[in-house]
Structure 1
């Protein structure tokens, strides 16, 4: 439609003439939709909102006094808010290429300032820190001109021909080279070990193959030898079995003959010897019994003879007292004591005879020949009387 204007998606349409814009701006800002513009009375201009790029190659001096050439790339654009569009439109609408030039100069100044407070080692090893500090310090200035920075990348840092950065990397290069050499040596050693292991495995496989082949050959030889010896071995086994049977038969015959000899000779001889031994034992027992009976008969006869002679012995003893002067005390008790003494004298004589003959007394004990004789007549004493013989 005639007089109706629509900005592109990456553009802001600035309409001047007529009413002022927001915040007293000399123009109105239209983005994202169209607007009817009166011809002749209104003027329309377009400001790009697309991404722009600025390159910086600045020679900076570090805190150590070493000159470095720093190359950086800045990605920026006009802000999407109305205030940023108004600020950028008032500054760059007639020459929008100046946005990249001015942005490069702003960042070049901030790079010199930030690098001047850092060492070469920090700049080389902490590039992100450098970029962040530059962005933070430039944010306010960029906002004033309606621009925002999306990215800042440090592309390169060059020390010219001083060799400082090269010297910084020398220890690391040496360490890396050493590691590379060690790794190469280890790889070579591993390769050699792998080759040796493969050779050993191959030799072991060949040895096992040779051993198995030898075992097969030996097995074949044994089978052939067994086949060749089968006939003679069978004949020898048959003969051995015949000999074993004959030997067993002979052993059985010998055992049978031994049993016959035991039954015919040994057993009768043992029976005869046992009979003779029993007869001898019986005869000895008979003779012992006869001897004991004879000895017992002799003792009884001897005792009988001694008893028969006892009155005569007492008589002879009393005859010896016929002419003696005897004083009898205690009356009849004294006479009894005299008679008892005479009888005791006779018994003493009887014991003496027995001891001399070695015969036992009435209690079954053999009298001792050394024992003193019993009480004599002259030594006898009564219970209440006394006999004196002069």
Structure 2
């Protein structure tokens, strides 16, 4: 719209001409909103409220008389209040670049003053103190021209190749280098110890591995040896068992053969020998009885008949013995006992016959007496 003006967010609009502002200001200040300006009767100008920068590179002399070249950067702007805008507008509205030039000069003067009251050691080690004192010293002066400082940074401090700062830093550098060397030596020692420990562990691992491999090899060799011997051992065991069984079978066959020989040869021979002996004894007994009969002349006929029958009786008994399977337990004594038993049986039979024959006449006489009565 014709005659209506709006300032930018980082600008202040200054309206001059007519009445409308404060009585002590030559123009009206408008920020943050627009305003109608009557043409031809009012004039509008704009003052920047944006951040500005000024650099300072000043040769300063310290309290010790040592020259230092100090570089600093100042960040500043026009104040937000109406008074600061009016003061800055009256001074810089026609050439706003002069704000940086004037600010640099103001800070250069204060920087020389503050550096002159400090030693090199304080300036180097306490840069923030230097910046704070410079800011405090320039604050009122900057406010008069409508400017405010946001920050001041000391960029560098140089003794212009005098070597004072380097000499001042030499002990610290030496200490730092010494500490660095110590740290490096410790690191090297730790690395060497770690390397030795690693080698020791590797050697120990290799030794254990060799032991385990040797144990495994010994077990494998032993197993292979046992496996190679298992066949011959099994074969030998089988042969030994076969030989034992063959030996046992041979013993059994020998025992059986011995029993067969006893049954087929020895026992029949023993029985035949016993029969002959019994016949001999019977013949001897026959001769004895005949002698007794001849001596007594009593019952000669009866005794003769019995004597004649006795060998036949014994012969029949011996004949039955010759076919029998008699077990002789006591050898020759057993055979003798058997023969004596047969002869005894023959004599017992003979006595029984004699007794029977003698009893018959007695019973006949008794019968005759009974009939006569």
TM-score with structure 1 setting the length: 0.58
What aligned pairs does 1:260-299 form with structure 2 within 5 A after superposition? none
1:201 aligns with 2:201: yes
| Cα distance in structure 1, aligned partners of 2:27 and 2:228 | 126
Q: Higher mean Cα deviation, 177-186 or 218-227?
A: 218-227
Which residue does 1:39 correspond to in 2?
39
Deviation of 1:101 (Å):
0.9
| Cα distance in structure 1, aligned partners of 2:36 and 2:229 | 126
Which residue does 1:351 correspond to in 2?
none
Which residue does 1:123 correspond to in 2?
123
Q: Higher mean Cα deviation, 200-209 or 168-177?
A: 200-209
Which residue does 1:83 correspond to in 2?
83
| Cα distance in structure 2, aligned partners of 1:93 and 1:12 | 11
Which residue does 2:320 correspond to in 1?
none
SS of 2:165's equivalent in the other structure is helix
CA RMSD after TM alignment:
2.2
SS of 1:191's equivalent in the other structure is helix
Q: Higher mean Cα deviation, 164-173 or 17-26?
A: 17-26
| Cα distance in structure 1, aligned partners of 2:9 and 2:53 | 19
Kept after mapping to 2: 8 A contact 1:20/1:26: no
Deviation of 1:9 (Å):
0.8
Kept after mapping to 2: 8 A contact 1:7/1:33: yes
Which residue does 2:66 correspond to in 1?
66
Which residue does 1:186 correspond to in 2?
186
| Cα distance in structure 1, aligned partners of 2:214 and 2:181 | 49
| Cα distance in structure 2, aligned partners of 1:56 and 1:187 | 45
Which residue does 1:97 correspond to in 2?
97
| Cα distance in structure 2, aligned partners of 1:85 and 1:182 | 61
Which residue does 2:149 correspond to in 1?
149
| Cα distance in structure 1, aligned partners of 2:183 and 2:28 | 69
| Cα distance in structure 1, aligned partners of 2:96 and 2:66 | 37
Deviation of 1:66 (Å):
0.6
Deviation of 1:195 (Å):
2.3
Superposed structure 1 runs of 4+ greater than 3 Å apart? 221-232
Deviation of 1:22 (Å):
2.4
Higher helix share: 2
Number of residue pairs aligned between Structure 1 and Structure 2: 238
Deviation of 1:161 (Å):
2.1
Deviation of 1:108 (Å):
0.8
TM-score with structure 2 setting the length: 0.60
Deviation of 1:198 (Å):
2.2
Partner deviation per Cα, 1:312-333 (whole Å, 9 max, x = no partner): xxxxxxxxxxxxxxxxxxxxxx
| Cα distance in structure 2, aligned partners of 1:137 and 1:26 | 30
Partner deviation per Cα, 1:132-173 (whole Å, 9 max, x = no partner): 111111111111110000000001111112110000110111
Give unpaired runs (5+ residues) of structure 1.
239-390
Kept after mapping to 2: 8 A contact 1:54/1:104: yes
| Cα distance in structure 2, aligned partners of 1:209 and 1:160 | 69
SS of 1:24's equivalent in the other structure is coil
Change (3 A) 1:159 1:140: same
Which residue does 2:111 correspond to in 1?
111
Partner deviation per Cα, 1:254-287 (whole Å, 9 max, x = no partner): xxxxxxxxxxxxxxxxxxxxxxxxxxxxxxxxxx
1:6 aligns with 2:29: no
SS of 1:22's equivalent in the other structure is coil
